[in-house]
Structures are given as structure tokens and as C-alpha cells.
């Protein structure tokens, strides 16, 4: 899926300047019940040009610490979010 420590996730928040929150989902097998369960983790990622929108599918790469909680950066936008018509 992703190379060199990268992760593919969905942007869930763009409230901050030059920072987005990306949710990365994975499916795991429960050790006791042998059922597949969905787990997710949220990463704060640097978005220099504020190009991402909520719902975009992005590739994030690990980088040096940029702030207290930000250690990832947006490498590329893989898929733009669809516009939802009311």
C-alpha cells in the first residue's frame, strides 16, 4: 500500500493552519473471538499549502518532529473528496 513508512488515511479535520488530522484505519483479527474488527488511529500531519479538505484520501510520511504532536507530513493527495450536494 504505502512505501517507506508511509500510511494512507482520510483527512478528518482541517481546523488548524498548515495542519490536518488524518485517520488511518486497519482491520485486525481478534485474538480470542477470531472476528475481524476495525481499528483506527489519528495522526496530525503538516500540510504546507493547506491543499487538503475533509474527506480527502492522502499519503502521509514520517518526518522529524515539527511540533509537540506533529511528526507526519502530507506526501500526496491520492483522491479528492466528493462534493456533497444538499
What's the CATH number where 37 sits?
2.40.50.140
Per-residue pLDDT, averaged over 47-70, amounts to 96
Residue 84 covered by a domain: no
Residue 85 lies in a domain: no
∠ CA 42-47-52, rounded to 5°: 80
Number of domains composing the chain? 1
Cell matching residue 64 = 522529524
Band of residue 84 on the pLDDT scale cut at 50, 70, 90: low
On whether residue 51 sits in a domain, the answer given is yes
Domain range for residue 32? Answer: 7-79
At 44, the pLDDT band (50, 70, 90 cuts) reads very high
Specify if 86 maps to a domain.
Answer: no
Give the Å distances, CA to CA, from 37 to 1, 12, 57, 70, 84.
20, 21, 21, 27, 29
Q: The C-alpha cell of 47 is what? A: 500540510
Q: Distance between CA 1 and CA 13 in Å, rounded? A: 23
1 in any annotated domain: no
pLDDT surpassing 70 at residue 20: yes
Report the C-alpha gap between 67 and 17 in whole angstroms. 13
Amino acid at each position: 500500500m504505502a512505501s517507506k513508512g508511509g500510511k494512507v488515511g482520510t483527512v478528518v479535520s482541517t481546523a488548524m493552519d498548515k495542519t490536518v488530522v488524518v485517520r488511518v484505519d486497519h482491520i485486525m483479527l481478534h485474538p480470542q473471538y477470531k472476528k475481524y474488527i476495525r481499528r483506527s488511529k489519528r495522526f496530525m500531519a503538516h500540510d504546507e499549502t493547506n491543499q487538503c479538505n475533509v474527506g480527502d484520501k492522502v499519503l502521509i510520511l514520517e518526518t522529524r518532529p515539527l511540533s509537540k504532536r506533529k511528526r507526519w507530513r502530507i506526501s500526496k493527495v491520492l483522491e479528492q473528496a466528493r462534493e456533497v450536494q444538499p
